[in-house]
Amino acid sequence: MENFTFHNPTRIVFGKGTEDKVGTEVKRHTSKVLLHYGTGSIIKSGLYQKVIDSLSKSGIEYIELPGAMPNPRLSLVQEGIDICKKEKIGFILAVGGGSAIDSAKAIAVGTCYEGNVWDFFDQKAQPVEALGVGVILTIPAAGSEMSNSMVITNEDGWFKRGCTTEIVRPKFAIMNPEITCTLSDYQTVCGIADIMAHVMERYFTNSTNVDFTDRLCEATMRAVIHNALLVLNNPHDYNARAEIMWAGTIAHNDLLSCGRIGDWSSHQIEHELSGIYDVPHGAGLSVVFPAWMKYVYRHDVTRFAQFAVRVFGVDYSFASPEVTALEGIGRLKQFFKSIGLPVSLKELDIQDDRLEEMAQKCKIVNKQEGTIGNFVKLNQQDILNILKSAL
């Protein structure tokens, strides 16, 4: 087990009707807030009215910034920064999923910075100060409501890049599973793929003696798989929605990272898909992750066999652990297919004409070696091979 420090200060307010408490939660931090949300779904659902009623009741002045969209754009972040500086706003309330939350986080660090906020995503600078951020979560997926990370897309070149810093963990997150009943099946399953990927990025590790967090990861994945089928059968199943929502938070709040080093190459490869083609992040991950697994499983067949047995109930083959490992990868792929997710690039209408561009653009973490990933270090040719295998 690796050394670790775990601290997560985000206050979680979970359950039915909790959105009505947003004014009280915001009041703990400010009396003037930037209200950031998407393109109108919260207005149709009635959530918007509940939010502004609660803010008004608590005497909170708010300025609105709508327009958050999947794969959140740098241009909207810059607009939000300009508003916060002009209006002297010190707190941001994000109402939505990972896109609104990540955009809010980027506005939070950009407002406290004299340079271009993209510097943080282009690894030219590291944030040292940020406005406070609060969240009302509407889509369980990204886990951004309790995480220390954010991802933004720069329209100039369509680069999708992330930034990690402890100062952007939200001050609070309000989570009412009832709100998620309005999601379409496709939005729901894309979120499920994202949650599964966050756990698997941590699960496939070279760190040893991590059985406790292995089993936490496995329990989280099994719970998501079980409840995914329940919620697709009955979209208004509150208990299934609640299980998925809380699992999505746990998947990315770093509890499952304790004592281990995750991989994260699948996320970085997928960022090039959604950066260029604007596909839903979860849909891109359901294509990339099985392809990555098939490419690297021989690095630690035992771990992949363990995944197969403990997560999908595959019978262990003592004669050939490799058979067990491959069956687990196959069952993950079949699970994604069974809930309506793509498992090939062609299903996303992505052909082979820009694969080399994506492999070349893929963010290199280890600049000295020119690689991404920790479980298996992947170079540009490896990335291209994985993309080709996903066709």
Q: Are residues 204 and 89 in the same domain?
A: no
Q: Are residues 166 and 222 in the same domain?
A: no
pLDDT tens digit sequence for 73-132: 999 999 999 999 999 999 999 999 999 999 999 999 999 999 999 999 998 999 999 999
Give me the CATH number covering residue 76: 3.40.50.1970
Q: Per mean pLDDT, which range of 74-83, 143-152, 257-266, 361-370 is the poorest?
A: 361-370
Q: Are residues 219 and 295 in the same domain?
A: yes
Residue 4 lies in a domain: no
Residue 109 lies in a domain: yes
Q: Are residues 272 and 174 in the same domain?
A: no
Residue 161 lies in a domain: yes
Q: Are residues 35 and 89 in the same domain?
A: yes
Q: Are residues 142 and 280 in the same domain?
A: no
Residues 97, 191: Cα–Cα separation, whole Å: 10
Residue 334 lies in a domain: yes
pLDDT tens digit sequence for 59-85: 999 999 999 999 999 999 999 999 999
Cross-sheet strand order for the sheet of 91-96: 11-14, 172-175, 132-137, 91-96, 32-37, 61-65
Q: What is the mean pLDDT of residues 34-53?
A: 93
The predicted structure's pLDDT at residue 366:
65
Q: Are residues 170 and 201 in the same domain?
A: no
Burial environment of residue 233 by CB neighbours within 10 A (0 to 12, 13 to 18, 19 or more): exposed
Q: Are residues 138 and 267 in the same domain?
A: no
Residue 6 lies in a domain: no
Among candidate residues 153, 178, 203, the one where a domain is terminated:
178
Residue 111 lies in a domain: yes
The predicted structure's pLDDT at residue 280:
95
Token output for 228: 């995914």
Give me the CATH number covering residue 226: 1.20.1090.10
Q: For the chain, give the mean pLDDT.
A: 96
Does the structure show a pLDDT above 90 at 39? no
Give ∠ CA 348-292-308 in degrees, rounded to 5: 110
Residue 5 lies in a domain: no
Amino acid identity at 350: I
Residues 389, 391: Cα–Cα separation, whole Å: 6
Does the structure show a pLDDT above 80 at 368? no
Among candidate residues 149, 178, 207, the one where a domain is terminated:
178
Residues 329, 339: Cα–Cα separation, whole Å: 16
Residue 363 lies in a domain: yes
Give ∠ CA 141-208-306 in degrees, rounded to 5: 65
Q: Are residues 189 and 173 in the same domain?
A: no
Bridge partner list, 62: 33
- Torsion angles phi and psi, residue 337, rounded to 5: -60, -40
SS3 187: helix
Among candidate residues 127, 159, 178, the one where a domain is terminated:
178
- Residue whose pair of structure tokens reads 């893929």 in the numeric block: 362
Domain count, the chain: 2
Q: Are residues 196 and 168 in the same domain?
A: no
Q: Are residues 225 and 343 in the same domain?
A: yes
Determine the structural domain holding residue 109 and report its residue range.
Answer: 11-178
pLDDT tens digit sequence for 158-194: 999 999 999 999 999 999 999 999 999 999 999 999 9
pTM for the model stands at 0.96
Q: Are residues 365 and 307 in the same domain?
A: yes
pLDDT tens digit sequence for 316-366: 987 799 999 999 999 999 999 999 999 999 999 999 999 999 999 887 766
The predicted structure's pLDDT at residue 335:
98
